[in-house]
Amino acid sequence: MPITSVTKDSDALTMTVVADFPVTVQRLWDAYADPRQLEKFWGPPEWPATFSRHDLFPGGRSHYWMTGPDGTRSAGYWEFLAVDPGRSFEVTDGFADEHWAPSQEMPNMRMRLTFDETSDGARVTTTTWFNSAADYQQLIEMGMEEGMSAAMGQIDEVLEDLSFFASGKGVETQVLSETQVRFTRIIRGTPEQVRQAHRDPELLRRWLLGPDGWRMSDCQVAHKVGDSYRFAWEKEEDGSDGFALYGELKELDEPHREVTTESMEGVPGEPNLNEQTLRPIDGGTLLTLVITYPNAEVRDMILNTGMTDGMETSYVRLEEVLSASSRS
């Protein structure tokens, strides 16, 4: 059990949990920065978590739900108030409704996590501030201490799994729900470099190509919210089998987060919603793309096109482009 102490102070309306691990501070930080790892321990074993959004930067948000043994879901959110990469982050932590708005029936709280080096490894200290004595009493009686202890008891196994979350594994695809799929990959480069490669038409034409034998015939980039974009491809050999994707830039927080709609020209129906986030971690930048499809049928149809293989081929090229740029 990694937890070394739990201190509750009903006068200060705080609860402080200290946990120690035989790993580096960076390794422990990355477990919280990577939603694939975080969701393996944030919920208790009986209520595992699923993160559909995780923006680890000031002003960002995280959305997650925990699923009970009978399939019941309990949704929560974080609003990031401050982030000191590799050292600490502070959030408003609360329950949410089905639209990720703060619950009107349950209290929220302020939570700060600090990461420190120790003689034996790393320590994370989680301090929670409650808004009132009534909130403190309610959440403690609901089993907040027991739930956190059970959840953090799972971190050791995650920290030991170095191979699954390491760079060089390629694109990982995870179905989150009937309409959402999460694609993740570690890109060797900084978030700023990866972001630049997504907004520079010259660079995009060098790597965003999918399988070998294709070229971009049009590359119109959206630079600010409300702008439209259009990307088109055709076969290098004879310019045949051309197709295009287009949409609108809906949200932008440089270089961390970009949200766009996406449709294919000539194909009717509602657009997909693409949410891409970039987080610095050990080994480079963790690129996370969550796509929300109109329905499960569209989701499955697109996944069955082999898009993951095409994404991986493009990301390999992206790393080559970044490597060449760093040498020039």
Provide the pLDDT for residue 162. Answer: 66
> Do 93 and 179 reside in the same domain of the chain?
no
Q: Within this chain, do residues 124 and 236 fall inside the same structural domain, yes or no? A: no
Burial of 251 (0-12, 13-18, 19+ CB in 10 A): exposed
Minimal CA–CA distance to 253: which of 230, 272, 273, 279?
279
Q: Give the residue with greater pLDDT, 280 vs 167.
A: 280
- 37's CB contacts (< 8 A; 6+ apart) are 30, 31, 158, 165
> Is the pLDDT at 241 greater than 80, yes or no?
yes
Does residue 166 carry a pLDDT above 70?
no
End-to-end CA distance of the chain: 49
Q: Are 30 and 16 in contact (CB under 8 A)?
A: no
Q: What is the mean pLDDT of residues 75-80?
A: 96
16, amino acid identity: T
Q: Which residues make Cβ contacts (< 8 Å) with residue 12, sequence separation at least 6?
A: none
Report which of 180, 173, 267, 171 is spatially closest to residue 210, judged by C-alpha positions: 171
Distance CA 199, CA 275 (A): 15
Task: Give the residue-averaged pLDDT of 274-293.
Answer: 95
Please report whether residue 86 resides in a domain: yes
Average pLDDT, integer, range 242-262:
97
What SS3 state is found at 75? strand
> Do 7 and 129 lie in a common domain?
yes
234 and 225 Cβ atoms separated by less than 8 Å: no
Per-residue model confidence (pLDDT) at position 211: 85
Residue 165 lies in a domain: no
Query: 24-60 pLDDT, tens per residue?
Result: 999 999 999 999 999 999 988 999 999 999 999 999 9
pLDDT at 33: 95
Work out the average pLDDT over 168-179: 90
Residue 1: pLDDT above 70?
no
| Rounded mean pLDDT, 267-283 | 94
Q: Are 211 and 109 found together in one domain?
A: no
Residue 328 vs residue 10, higher pLDDT: 10
At residue 167, does pLDDT exceed 70?
no
Q: Please write the tens of the pLDDT for every residue from 110-152.
A: 999 999 999 999 999 999 999 999 999 999 998 888 888 888 8
pLDDT for residue 255: 95
Residue-level pLDDT at 149: 86
Query: 196 and 87: one domain?
Result: no
- CATH assignment of the domain containing 293: 3.30.530.20
Tell which of 129, 160, 191 closes a domain: 160
- Per-residue confidence (pLDDT) for residue 325, from 0 to 100: 78
What is the reported pLDDT for 160? 86
Report the percent of the chain where pLDDT is more than 90: 84
Q: Is there a contact between 312 and 187 (Cβ–Cβ < 8 Å)?
A: no
CA distance 209 to 215: 6
pLDDT at 204 exceeding the cut of 70: yes
| Residue 167 covered by a domain | no
Q: Identify whether residues 124 and 179 lie together within a single domain.
A: no
In a domain, 166, yes or no: no
Same domain, yes or no: 177 and 299 = yes
Average pLDDT, integer, range 79-95 = 96
pLDDT of residue 147: 85
The whole-chain average pLDDT of the chain stands at 93
Digit-coded pLDDT (tens) for 205-232: 999 998 889 999 999 999 999 999 999 9
Number of neighbouring beta carbons within 10 Å of residue 238 = 7
Q: Is it the case that residue 82 has pLDDT exceeding 90? A: yes
Range of the domain at 141: 3-160
pLDDT band at 288 (very low <50, low <70, confident <90, very high): very high
In this structure, are 7 and 156 located in the same domain? Answer: yes
pLDDT grade for 324, boundaries at 50, 70 and 90: confident
pLDDT recorded at residue 26:
94
Residue 328 is predicted with a pLDDT of 60
HEC readout, 297-311: HHHHHHHCCCHHHHH
> Considering its fold, how many domains does the chain have in total?
2
Domain assignment present for residue 49? The answer is: yes
